[in-house]
């Protein structure tokens, strides 16, 4: 079943500033996150659950360490993260999961917390026992939550190197005609470009179609692409909002993931 585009929500300005600060951290100091910070994040999780939206975020204040499995053996394992947030929804909610999940991650970044999107190296079965799942729901992904250690360990360094985690495709590759675009669309593409994606595959391409910004899939995509697209939509929306343009996402044709229509917003 084709995922539906996310329902647009309020976008705090600070989330835009957090875009460039967020990185994935896999090694934490084990110290509990202060309760007021967790309370704030829980409020964000609750606020993101909207009528018509199909994804939700559930804060788990005390994360059982066994939830964080490695990729191969202990390689890539997240260690000593005190908390986590589970991203939950129906099977066809992947875009919403990306959009809502990245909202939580940016809000945590604003609060000075470290995070890591995890769709592969976690125990979904164990996590689903920590949240009350409705019959049609599953845990799509989680984020670790806490304070990263000051120094990066060898395993984390190897992981980042193998993923080329700081590398992003040039704007000319993901948005070939961006030079001729209106400012809001160039800002959207620039904000989208730095988004995280599963295995850093960056499965997105952008083009303008009339006044709309169309998001399409790259020719080769990784299995996390549907979640990655939701993350991309939030980043693009934050970039456009930074340039003063609000809008919303619609599904147009089977050839594209979704399109952003500027001005078409109820916010």
- Residues engaged in binding ligand FMN (CB under 6 A): 23-24, 26, 76, 116-121, 141, 163, 165, 196-200, 224, 227-228, 231
Contact in structure between 25 and 159 (CB atoms under 8 Å): no
**Cα-Cα-Cα-Cα dihedral sign, residues 224, 170, 145, 157:** positive
Q: Which of 230, 224, 55, 251 is nearest to 136 (CA)?
A: 55
Closest CB to ligand FMN among residues 35, 154: 154
Closest CB to ligand FMN among residues 4, 27: 27
Rounded-to-integer distance, Cα 236 and Cα 195, Å: 9
Closest CB to ligand FMN among residues 37, 163: 163
Closest CB to ligand FMN among residues 74, 250: 74
How near is the Cβ of 30 to ligand FMN at its closest, in Å? Answer: 18
Please name the residues in contact with 150: beta carbons below 8 A apart, sequence gap of 6 or more. Answer: 29
- Retrieve residue 88's tokens: 């939950």
| Bridge partners, residue 122, by sequence | 68
How near is the Cβ of 45 to ligand FMN at its closest, in Å? Answer: 18
How near is the Cβ of 195 to ligand FMN at its closest, in Å? Answer: 8
Of all residues in this chain, which one has the CB nearest to ligand FMN in the complex?
196
How near is the Cβ of 1 to ligand FMN at its closest, in Å? Answer: 19
How near is the Cβ of 15 to ligand FMN at its closest, in Å? Answer: 16
Report DSSP state, residue 187: H
């Amino acid at each position: 079943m084709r995922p539906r585009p996310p329902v647009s929500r309020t976008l705090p300005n600070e989330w835009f500033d957090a875009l460039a600060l967020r990185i994935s951290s896999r090694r934490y100091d084990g110290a509990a996150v202060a309760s007021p910070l967790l309370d704030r994040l829980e409020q964000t999780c609750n606020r993101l659950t909207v009528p018509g939206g199909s994804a939700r975020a559930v804060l788990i204040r005390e994360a059982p360490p066994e939830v964080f499995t490695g990729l191969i053996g202990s390689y890539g394992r997240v260690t000593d993260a005190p908390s986590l947030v589970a991203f939950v929804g129906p099977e066809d909610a992947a875009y919403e999961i990306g959009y809502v999940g990245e909202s939580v991650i940016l809000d945590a970044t604003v609060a000075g917390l470290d995070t890591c999107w995890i769709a592969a190296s976690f125990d979904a079965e164990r996590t689903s026992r920590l949240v009350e799942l409705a019959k049609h729901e599953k845990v799509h992904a989680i984020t670790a939550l806490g304070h990263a250690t000051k120094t990066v360990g060898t395993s984390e360094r190897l992981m980042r190197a193998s993923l080329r985690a700081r590398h992003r495709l040039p704007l000319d590759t993901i948005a070939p005609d961006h030079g001729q675009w209106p400012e809001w669309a160039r800002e959207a593409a620039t904000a989208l470009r730095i988004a995280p994606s599963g295995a850093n595959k960056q499965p997105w391409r952008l083009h303008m179609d009339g006044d709309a910004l169309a998001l399409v899939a790259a020719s080769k995509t990784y299995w996390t692409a549907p979640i990655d697209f939701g993350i991309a939509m939030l980043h693009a929306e934050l970039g456009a909002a930074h340039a003063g343009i609000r809008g919303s996402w619609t599904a147009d044709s089977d050839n594209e993931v979704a399109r952003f229509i500027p001005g078409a917003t109820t916010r």
